[in-house]
């Protein structure tokens, strides 16, 4: 869903895969193959995914580390909320006969702004300022 909105970029494909399968554990190779991203490309930005808490190590099988999306991360929660909102807009538009095109982009961005404003308000009221 995110690739349809943001474009077919490697990072977006990886995040889209992980958001779409939140309870699946992947090796780095699995993430690359399932998202259609070259391993070298994935390795180039993989550390950023962990740095920004989009992905977390889960367990090891032998020497192989498994990873999944970090559903406790505020960033992931915001992306997940956005993905759900985007999906509901697409469904709404399909039901109205627009064949999946997002007709009211301004309304969508207002909804997104509200999500992020709520998140920022929550953060400013909290003493724990995590990303």
Beta strands in 1-131 (DSSP E): 55-61, 64-69
Distance CA 58, CA 64 (A): 11
pTM of the complete model? 0.70
Distance CA 65, CA 119 (A): 32
Distance CA 9, CA 93 (A): 25
Residue 67 has pLDDT above 80, yes or no: yes
- Mean of pLDDT values over 69-93: 90
Residue 44 has pLDDT above 80, yes or no: yes
DSSP one-letter string for 81-96? HHHHHHHHHHHHHHHT
Indicate the average pLDDT of the chain. Answer: 86
Report the share of the chain in percent with pLDDT over 90: 58
Residue 100 has pLDDT above 50, yes or no: no
Residue 130 has pLDDT above 60, yes or no: no
Pick the CATH number of 2-69 from 1.10.645.10, 1.10.10.10, 3.10.50.40, 3.90.600.10: 1.10.10.10
Q: How confident is the model at residue 127 (pLDDT cuts 50, 70, 90)?
A: low
Domain residue extents for the chain: 2-69, 74-124
More confident residue, 4 or 100: 4
Note whether 75 and 50 are within 8 A (CB). no
Alpha carbon 56 to its chain centroid, in Å, reads 13
Residue 76 has pLDDT above 80, yes or no: yes
Assign residue 93 a region (left: φ > 0; alpha: ψ between -120 and 50; beta: otherwise): alpha
In the chain the first and final C-alpha atoms are separated, in Å, by 23
């Amino acid at each position: 869903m995110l690739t349809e909105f943001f474009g077919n970029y490697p990072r977006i494909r990886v995040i889209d895969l992980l958001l779409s399968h939140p309870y699946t554990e992947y090796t780095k190779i699995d993430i690359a193959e399932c998202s259609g991203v070259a391993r070298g490309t994935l390795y180039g930005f993989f550390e950023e995914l962990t740095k920004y808490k989009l992905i977390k190590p889960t367990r090891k099988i032998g020497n192989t580390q498994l990873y999944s999306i970090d559903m406790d991360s505020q960033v992931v929660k915001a992306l997940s909320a956005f993905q759900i909102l985007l999906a509901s807009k697409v469904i709404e538009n399909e039901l109205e006969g627009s064949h999946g095109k997002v007709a009211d982009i301004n309304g969508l961005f207002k909804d997104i702004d509200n999500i992020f404003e709520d998140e920022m308000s929550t953060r400013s009221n909290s003493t724990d300022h995590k990303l």
